[in-house]
Structure formats: C-alpha cells, structure tokens
Amino acid sequence: MSLEYSTDIKKQVSEGISILKSGGVVAFPTDTVYCLGARYDNIPALERIYEIKQRPHRLALPIIVSDVPQIEEVAGYIPPMAWEFINKYMPGAITLILPKSKKVCDIITNGKDTVAVRIPAHRLTIDIIKGVGVPIAGTSANTSGEPSNIVAKDVFAQIGDKADLIIDDGKCPGGIVSTIVDVTGVVPVIIREGAISRNELEEFYKGIK
C-alpha cells in the first residue's frame, strides 16, 4: 500500500498496521476523537482494550469499518431504514446499531445480538483499516469516565504506554464523539447525541425517537 503522507506519519501508519495485524492495540486519530483499536477477531487484543481503558465489560465495543462491504461482514443484515442513514451520513460521525453477524464475538457485544458500526470520514483511519484487512473494534482512546481526547499527547497522558503505539497525526478534525442511532427496531432511536445533532436527524428522518 502506498501512503501519501509525510515520512513520519507514513512510518507510524505502517507500524500501526503491522502491530494491529499481529494482534496488538493501537491508538490513532479519527474524524471525531482518538480511537483505541484492535482487530475485531482477536480476543486477547480486545481484552486488552478493556484493560487499558478500565472499561466495564458490560459496555460493548463499537466496530469501525472502511466501507459498506465491511458493514455487511459484521452485520447479520442491514434493515432498509439503516440504508437511509448509511447513504446519507456514511462515511461520517454516525454510529449505527445493527443486528450482528455470527463473525462478531461476544466480547465485543457483551453477548447482545446487536453491534455498533461506523465508517469514519478520515483518510488515515480508513487506510489503517484497509491495511489491516479486517474491521477494527475501536473505542475512544481515554480512561473510562474521562473526557475523549483529540490530540495524541492527551491520549498518552491518560493511557501512557499501555497501548503498543499511539499514532500522532495532530488534532482530530471533528473533536466530538459520533452520534449513535439504533436502527434495529420499527423506528430509529437516538442512543447518544454527538457530532450530528438530534435536530438534524429529526429533520432528516421524521418519527425518530
């Protein structure tokens, strides 16, 4: 893969891809906030995310993907309503809760039959996911209960060297967590308001809760 970045960032991204492929944990920027990620099919790496963040296991891990085919890989099926949000807001700062596929392990979903999925609107993030070749389970790169981070130095201040690598590509452009919408029911339900406001979503999709 040819990465058109500065020499330093190109080196960091290549190293991050190698670490993730081999089952490591890496922090990296997205369009919203810094993410702490591991490949979605490596259970020991997923356990480390919970340990590094001090995240309760009852809280599921979202999955970030590079494109729609990867959504179809981790979702059991995509309801017609979900396609409307995908076509309108992805890539972007929206996370959709979908029925999960059998490929998604219980440690990600806490045994639930749903999974949270997002396509980030950030070239570096997409290049990392594509380089790894599989979806990445990723959550905000911070200690659980603390504010999300938008610069690498704050990630390091919270989690130190517990991750195998922190990729520093400057400030995240968005700086606000994604909006989470559950699209598994009859009507979409906003679980968390984030970068995309409730008002905008209500205007886009009448009847949203």
Residue type, 97: I
184 in a structural domain: yes
State pLDDT tens for residues 50-61: 999 999 999 999
pTM score: 0.94
2 in a structural domain: no
Do the strands 35-39 and 94-99 form a parallel or antiparallel pair, or are they unpaired? unpaired
Q: In percent, how much of the chain has pLDDT > 70?
A: 98
Domain containing residue 120: CATH number? 3.90.870.10
- Find the domain containing 18 and state its range: 7-204
State pLDDT tens for residues 121-177: 999 999 999 999 999 999 999 999 999 999 999 999 999 999 999 999 999 999 999
Asked if the model's pLDDT at residue 16 lies above 50, the reply is yes
Peptide bond into 91 cis (omega under 30): yes
Q: Mean pLDDT across the chain, nearest whole number?
A: 95
What is the pLDDT confidence band of residue 4, given thresholds at 50, 70 and 90?
A: low
30 in a structural domain: yes
**CA–CA distance, 144 with 184 (Å, rounded to integer):** 27
209 in a structural domain: no
